[in-house]
Chains A and B, each alone.
Chain A
Amino acid sequence: DTAVSQTPKYLVTQMGNDKSIKCEQNLGHDTMYWYKQDSKKFLKIMFSYNNKELIINETVPNRFSPKSPDKAHLNLHINSLELGDSAVYFCASSPGRSTSGANVLTFGAGSRLTVL
């Protein structure tokens, strides 16, 4: 039973399109995150959500918007895709608020986005 699952695993699309990546966790965690891993393998946080409340947004363009229908889901929607958006996007979750507690991060397998 996968703890943090993301779909799709691969996504190839044209510049200018709008796309979404879905994430679900069955761990009962309170906080979910989206990370971006670029071609140089640097992993940087994009968003974290706690109980449907966005608590951190790290200088991400407003073309990116997280949507959380409930505590177990955090979807990433991207408008007007650009070439530079090509990367692997990882969803993660942790038990408590993102900035407190002994928060062990649990990651999904990643979604590789390629913008042509």
Chain B
Amino acid sequence: KQEVTQIPAALSVPEGENLVLNCSFTDSAIYNLQWFRQDPGKGLTSLLLIQSSQREQTSGRLNASLDKSSGRSTLYIAASQPGDSATYLCAVRNYGQNFVFGPGTRLSVLP
């Protein structure tokens, strides 16, 4: 059974810093991995989707990497802004299965 963990649970950084969020999964036979952002009281917004054959995906200041063999993905946020404050969730999908979500990392970017 796939299990997804995210470290740290919460992170607070000053504006302008680069930061890395971590996602680990126990079953490396994944089909793809998706990073989401959730604002308080809101739904989830898809940020990046990485297929199992890919090593990374980039969108603006966001870069997600995938290392299947070690069961890890990272989300790199460059030049963080207060508007980046949110909870970031990763979700992993194995073949023939639905997405399994991690517990999320709550990010606060201080002005």
Residues of A that sit less than 8 Å from B by CB: 4, 33, 40-45, 48, 56, 58, 90, 92, 98-99, 102-110
Contact = CB atoms under 8 A, between A and B. Distances in A.
B58 interface: no
Question: Which 7 pairs show the lowest CB-CB distances between chains A and B?
Answer: A43-B101, A107-B44, A107-B43, A109-B43, A99-B96, A45-B98, A110-B43
Contacts, number: 53
Per DSSP, are chain B's interface residues mostly helix, strand or loop, or mixed? strand
Interface of B: 32, 34, 36, 41-46, 49, 51, 87, 89, 91, 93, 95-99, 101, 103-104
B44 A40 contact: no
Contacts of B45: 107
A102 B32 contact: yes
B103 A99 contact: no
B6 to A, nearest CB: 11
A72 B25 CA distance: 32
Contacts of A45: 98-99
Contact of B42 (A33, A92, A110): A110
Given A42-B101, A44-B101, A105-B91, A90 B43 contact: yes
